[in-house]
Amino acid sequence: MKNTIFTGAATAIITPFKDGGIDYEAYARLIDWQIENGISAIVAAGTTGEGSTLTDDEHKEIIKFTVEHVNGRVPVVAGTGSNDTSYAIELTKYACEAGADAMLVVTPYYNKATQNGLIKSFTAIADASTKPIILYNVPSRTGCNITPATAAVLAKHPNIVAIKEASGNISQIAELAALTKGELDIYSGNDDQIVPVMALGGKGVISVLSNLMPKETNDICMDFINGKHASALDAQLKLLPLVNALFCEVNPIPVKAAMHAMGFGENSLRLPLTEMEEKNEEKLLALMREQGLI
């Protein structure tokens, strides 16, 4: 049996920007606040961290900074995926040397790939890694889906230990769980599906919501694990309006606005992402006030 990287909620953490660069002061405060509030892991430079618009140097710097600042308090997962397999290998090797505990590797975007291409690409990255790999399946953003059969093949690789499933397709996730038979830990990639995915054997969630509510998001997972299924479901459903508001525009536009309102950096994104539309931001902030977040 492969080792589990984390159980519970991991925050797909934002990257605060200031004056065109990374605001490391705000980022450090956010990391500390996350850990103080019981988050199970930190995922750096992923989709929510705007990894796709970080320069090569910034991408490496933020991985290194996250590892050093977390300092072993929780696992650090580094986003090292790319639509260029050779670049993904380069980033993965760097993150391994920098001390990241695991890698989050997204499917190739834009150029896409056949299922055979996915197997070859992920295998090449996993062969080059000295740390565990979490596959990241988010076809709505990449145009490329990891089928359950492909995931089952990849699960045979000793370094491929988990998958972040953000397809939104519960039937596919059920088939994935059936085919992999515990060889691949499954994490929900959608905050509105934490309980359903855990009911299929999932280990938790890689979350956007937990940027705002680390304790509450982690508690949903832990309640489910501890057999408090009704409590986990109740919390999941109560937070659904806020979750929907966080995804009413493309991620991470809303969560950047939310974290700015909570004092964690400027509401600054890199093009082609732009600031949240005013009417949507008003709804988001109203829901945050209901939760006592601002």
- Partner residues linked to 8 by β-bridges: 204
Rounded distance between C-alpha atoms, residue 163 and residue 185, angstroms: 6
Tokens 């969560």 identify what position? 255
The DSSP annotation for 37-61 comes to TT-SEEEESSTTTTGGGS-HHHHHH
Q: b/e string for 39-63 if b means 16 or more Cβ within 10 A? A: bbbbbbbbbbbbbbebeeebbbbbb
The helix/strand/coil state of 80 is coil
Rounded distance between C-alpha atoms, residue 91 and residue 103, angstroms: 9
If residue 247 lies in a helix (H) or strand (E), which one and from where to where? none
**Residue positions annotated with a catalytic role:** 136, 164
Return phi, psi of residue 36, to 5°.
-60, -30
